Amino acid sequence: MHIRLFLTAIFIVFTSTGWAQNAAVEYAVGLSPVDTTRPVHQLDLDASLVPDGPKIERGMVWRVFRDEPDADGKLPVFVTARGGSATIGLNSGTYLIHAAFGRAGASKRIFINGKGMSESFILQAGGLELNAETANVAIQSKHLRFSIFEHEQNEEGERKMIAPDVEPNKIVQLNEGTYHVLSRYGAINATVRADLEVKAGRVTKAVLQHRGAGVSLRLVSRPGGDPVANTAWSVFTQDGDKVFASRSVSPFLILAEGTYEAVVRNGDDNYRRTFAVRSGKSARIELLLE
């Protein structure tokens, strides 16, 4: 399985599109707000993808947690800010700050002690942009989706899902590291997998290569004729596994390269045909009504 990889320059695509956006601050409903009878100190927050890199101007989500667990044993979210750099007013005390940029993030525990302060986060994050081809031709985006998983497997051999149902050409922000990617062409069995590395401050662009094609099925009374109605279709692999079923008059499906058998029921009669799927070669398979 081949992959074409491209690595773009520093992550300007995220930090310089549009005007800088100061984060909009919201205090959680139902939690005690800042106590204005006590001194309120200014906490300034900003984040960069890499050390000495430009500040992230849009797309940040800041969450400030109280340091004391609630009745469920969880730290409650006290303040949320969305945008770029954030300025938050807080009383003296200890807080946990989480900075999120897409699916990249970092956390710090801070102590405010009688004066304002600032904190800068280095996320060590990059981006992953995915696409796929078959027979060196780009696959239509409506037929293509990706899932991104952690690279490491658990004891059962499973990986934790990070980002499901990712559209092609969409940049997903991730912490630096290696990720396992599943590319699905159609909804049946045309899939490929790859391990891809994300580098901090850069966008990794990957084009995965599928081996599959689209197939339309028809039951006809004569070659090239209109499809016959009242049909129920099933498609089986060479090993006899059913991979598709439909009551559509002329179903369209995408299959991995290989040999299959189409079975269609019309009334009390069944019709069968073996056919081959070749990568990148769409085909119309006709079964002749006898």
**Residue 24, C-beta contacts closer than 8 angstroms, at least 6 positions apart:** 81, 82, 83
Tell whether 82 and 130 lie within a shared domain: no
DSSP string for 177-229: EEEEEEEEETTTTEEEEEEEEE-TTSEEEEEEEE-EEEEEEEEESSTT-PBPS
Tell whether 175 and 230 lie within a shared domain: no
Tell whether 189 and 105 lie within a shared domain: no
Enter the tokens of residue 248: 């559509």
Express each pLDDT in 56-96 by its tens digit. Answer: 999 999 999 988 887 788 888 989 999 999 999 999 999 99
Choose the final residue of a domain: 90, 122, 154: 122
Enter the tokens of residue 53: 């890199």
| More confident position, 286 or 25 | 286
Tell whether 259 and 281 lie within a shared domain: yes
Please report, for the domain that includes residue 248, its CATH number. Answer: 2.60.40.10
Query: How distant is the alpha carbon of residue 35 from its chain centre?
Result: 41
Tell whether 68 and 131 lie within a shared domain: no
Q: Judge contact between 136 and 211, C-beta under 8 A.
A: no
Express each pLDDT in 131-177 by its tens digit. Answer: 999 999 999 999 999 999 999 999 999 999 999 999 999 999 999 99
Tell whether 162 and 229 lie within a shared domain: no
Tell whether 231 and 162 lie within a shared domain: no
Tell whether 163 and 250 lie within a shared domain: no
Q: How far apart are CA 61 and CA 228, in angstroms?
A: 55
Choose the final residue of a domain: 102, 122, 142: 122
Q: How far apart are CA 10 and CA 251, in angstroms?
A: 46
pLDDT at 209 over 80: yes
Tell whether 160 and 107 lie within a shared domain: no
Choose the final residue of a domain: 122, 147, 169: 122
Tell whether 245 and 266 lie within a shared domain: yes
Tell whether 60 and 24 lie within a shared domain: yes
Please report, for the domain that includes residue 146, its CATH number. Answer: 2.60.40.1120
Give me the phi and psi of 135, to 5 degrees please. 55, 40
Overall number of domains in the chain: 3
Enter the tokens of residue 70: 């609630």
| Containing structural domain, residue 145 | 3-8+125-210
pLDDT at 234 over 70: yes
The β-bridge relationship of strands 41-48 and 86-90 is antiparallel
What is the model's pTM?
0.88
The β-bridge relationship of strands 104-112 and 86-90 is unpaired
